[in-house]
Structure 1
């Protein structure tokens, strides 16, 4: 199964009443519970990001019907609402934290909603949730300077290591944006694998630093969720998103090139 296509689900907030900044990319606790029940009913075998990458890196076979449950940013509802559901099913997961958004000594005040504190992150880790990096302040990494890029990656890694006593092995790109420079920096910082978005199933051929995920939103119905996990109708479901992403990628490259030219005085 080394050439298998694996659904990597991307969640953000799990909340009944999220604020407007996080609403579209949130799910209700009820919806999350129903979606995890679907995975259990399908006989899915959840893995952590590190677990999937280790199988593909070594060539070891994947378990039957693998799936990944991942959360970005570090919203408090992951602890309050998602953790009990994960524990009920015995599901591992991966949480990618933006360290400057979490409540505590490194809080920059940039968190868009109620965020986790470090005690809650430690409880999640103790319960089998892999904690990965998601930068420090959640910038578009392909748009920042080299110095800022390195700071965002290294500072995030150092904070997670200090707070948890273990070095994070996995990374997720804020907003899903990366380019060759960003991926190389992630590798050099010591992360062993990284997740993008792409809204498609993950495959070994994508490489360990560009694995795709599918976005679970507040308007994702249970039938659509089942189709996404099975890899059916993903192209149609996310066709508009992909078109916008490709178009915006061209704009971002042009902006970065213009800033580089201006900085060089050319």
Structure 2
């Protein structure tokens, strides 16, 4: 495993005290080198992260399981692993999870199954997306398949009929392809508001994930689940600190500022 600095390891002792975290991945590239796309990580780094979670006793339920269970069920360290979009390279990630007895949730774009993605995103993986047969195999192996709309649109920018269609048609298409209910959803680009959350509930989803950082259940709302983005530049030490603080970016400068504020507040409260 990649080296983790002693301070980050010490800070991790508090991990789990504030509840579960949800990790958000997109693409996994072969080898050890950090990919150029910010939302991709190398296979070596991904495996290092999984090994750290396993070694520290993290439970890795799916999103549906996280929300269905009472909050008291997640008193220990819990990290829900999620993937957005449904890139073909995710098959290797699925195999890595299988080998470790871990599970994850995939949010896929129903209108792009088995095809080249049609939305713009410079730098993303080339080639096709996961197809229906591959998703069925993943589901049979214990992975959860959720929805990420039909066309990967910003839901806050579409009118009400289009919003309902993106949510309902994606759910129906995936349920037809998988033969099981699809109850989890993730807002594309993290773009959401109260109207989108209400539409997701009306469409029959039980959960919806945002890209807002923080402890997963902080808002006590299943349609506002928070996630921590895993970036290509995250070192293992930063990954460990992110787990500890429930934050996307935990540079040492940010931690020093955090500790200074805590010290100032404690000093000000002294009699």
Question: Could you say which TM-score interval applies, normalised by the shorter chain?
Answer: 0.7 to 0.9
Aligned to 1:73: 85
- The counterpart of 1:62, out of the listed 55, 59, 74, is 74
**Shift in CA distance, 230/156, structure 1 to aligned 2, threshold 3 Å:** same
CA deviations on 1:90-119 (whole Å, 9 max, x unpaired) are 001100001112216xx7744853311111
The TM-score, its normalising length taken from structure 1, stands at 0.79
CA deviations on 1:219-263 (whole Å, 9 max, x unpaired) are 1111111111122665655x99xxxxxxxxxxxxxxxxxxxxxxx
> Residues 67-216 of structure 1: matches in 2 within 5 Å?
67-79=79-91, 81-103=92-114, 109-110=118-119, 113-114=126-127, 115-216=129-230
C-alpha separation in 1, matches of 2:201 and 2:36: 29
C-alpha separation in 1, matches of 2:246 and 2:225: 18
Provide the aligned C-alpha RMSD in A.
2.5
CA deviations on 1:126-157 (whole Å, 9 max, x unpaired) are 11110011101000001101111111001100
Aligned to 2:62: 48
Does the residue aligned with 1:156 lie in a helix, a strand or coil?
Answer: helix
Does the residue aligned with 1:46 lie in a helix, a strand or coil?
Answer: coil
Aligned residues: 230
The TM-score, its normalising length taken from structure 2, stands at 0.78
C-alpha separation in 1, matches of 2:226 and 2:117: 29
8 Å Cα contact 1:97/1:135 also seen in 2: yes
C-alpha separation in 2, matches of 1:212 and 1:139: 20
8 Å Cα contact 1:15/1:26 also seen in 2: yes
Does the residue aligned with 2:27 lie in a helix, a strand or coil?
Answer: coil
Structure number with bigger Rg: 2
